[in-house]
Amino acid sequence: MILFSLMPVYQTVQDGTEVNYSQHSALAILSPDKAGISDSQDVIVEKALRSIEEIYDMERYRFSLSPRWIPGSLQRVDGGQIRSVTPEGGIERYTNFTVSYMDRNQLRSAQIQLLVDTERKLPVANRRIPGGERIAENDLDMRWVNVPNDRGQLVDSVHDLDGKTVRRTLANGQPVRYADITSEYLVEAGDVIRLIFEQNGVRIEMEAEARQSGAQDEEIIIYNKDTRKRYVGRVSGPGIALWIRTQ
């Protein structure tokens, strides 16, 4: 389903040259002499949406657009004269577009800015998944998630998560970031591991018990029953951790 919304509120500068829009309002306020403005506005937003659809897989993305800033001169153009609306660069929360339109039999262009609300269909936890637990495919549902600042941090495939271990607890309905999961543990909680101290050219090794599971480069808690002390170590290999500090 494609969402299409218009939520303009504008303030006209006294000379009538440009209109600023609030991204927060859902009510359009139009004076009678400005009623014709909505025609070009509707066409611009619709054409902008169509241009985005040509770029993205609409089975995985959907967008809602509303004007944020449009020049007053462009507002007065008849909607039938709008030829194309194309994004300048990638789609962001606030995206600039170039509008091509006819004016006195000449093709002209103008820049506008639209507010773009983006949703992606992503795997989310369908229950609370505690940290340290492995994810099974039936722990996840595909749902639409609002992603105002998508930088590629979210996992978009259930298959990429099946069998992975959660670093931290996931809430029910929460999408999964790549930072939230880890590969197979190199150290399991309860294992007797080698804890290595290296400082000023001196190297000391001792056996100690891992109190937490950890993957490569993760920090874990380690306990030595002889010293009766707890240590924080960084996992450096299977059954090996490097000392960071003593607790």
183-231, pLDDT tens digit by residue? Answer: 677 888 999 999 999 888 788 999 999 999 888 788 999 999 999 999 9
- Percent helix, strand, coil in the chain (nearest 5)? 15, 45, 40
Q: Closest by alpha carbon to 163, among 140, 186, 136, 187?
A: 136
Residues 6+ apart with CB under 8 A from 108: 100, 101, 102
- 182, 215 Cβ separation under 8 angstroms: yes
Q: Which residues pair with 187 in a beta bridge?
A: 214
Please report the pLDDT score of residue 151 as a whole number: 72
Distance CA 229, CA 168 (A): 25
Burial class (CB in 10 A: 0-12, 13-18, 19+), 180: buried
Four-CA torsion 154, 160, 164, 169, nearest 10 degrees: 30
Q: Give the pTM.
A: 0.59
Biggest distance spanned by C-alpha atoms of the chain: 90
Q: What is the pLDDT of residue 34?
A: 46
- Three-state DSSP at 154 gives strand
Query: Which stretches of the chain score pLDDT less than 70?
Result: 1-38, 183
* Per-residue confidence (pLDDT) for residue 130, from 0 to 100: 92
Question: What pLDDT, on a 0 to 100 scale, did the predictor assign at position 182?
Answer: 76
Residue 123: what pLDDT?
A: 97
pLDDT at 149: 77
Q: Write down the pLDDT at residue 38.
A: 52
